[in-house]
Amino acid sequence: NMHDSLKSTAQLTVFSEVDVTKLTAFRELVRREYAHDETVKISFNDIFILVTSRTLKRYPIMNTTLIDNEIILHDTVNMGIAVAIADGLIVPVLKNADKKGLLEIAMETRELIRNAREGNLSVDQVTDGTFTVTNLSMFGIDGITPILRPPETGILGFCRIKPTPSVYNGNVAIRSMMTVCLTFDHRVVDGAPASDFLQTLGRCLEEPALILT
């Protein structure tokens, strides 16, 4: 499937380094707030899904599929979530991700991942994706070129978060930095709007309050 994807699409990957110091603090705040509730376990992946789904609503061309030379724009975001399993990779789909809050995303994503690893996914849970994310932040990886899942237009790869000397407010400081990698189908979207999407997503990762706008 990956080989067919590379042969049949015009793939281009762009990269952006993002300061996620505030995002890391936001995650810790949420985890402390719900520490008493064992059903709530917020991961970075949950936040990435939330930010991506909300940003896609601002850039509908990225939330499209190309079928028989027709670009289909989707009203909702069905988020594919790449999951490593014992014998390969599978991508369960979180339906209507753009309509869910962070806690709902966390609970439903955890169930999808568990079902994926136990081999209990239904057909509905692996079909009709409109965009995909793959999270490698738990590994020592600083950059990837994710491969598209046709007929989707885009896939985002999130790499590790690491303390890095950076210029912040005019001074050098140790900040939590991460590279975000966007692969998109150049037949559907040009480089400028795709880069604008990635830049806006990066701003929301840097300033979590912008997720609400």
Measured in whole angstroms, the distance separating CA 147 from the mean position of its chain's CA atoms is: 13
Residues with Cβ within 8 Å of 124's Cβ and at least 6 positions away in sequence, in order, are: none
Strand (E) or helix (H) holding 90: strand 88-90
Active site residues: 186, 190
Burial class, 74, CB count within 10 angstroms (exposed 0-12 / middle 13-18 / buried 19+): middle
Look at the chain and count its residues: 213
Q: List the helix and strand counts (H, then E) for the chain.
A: 5, 10
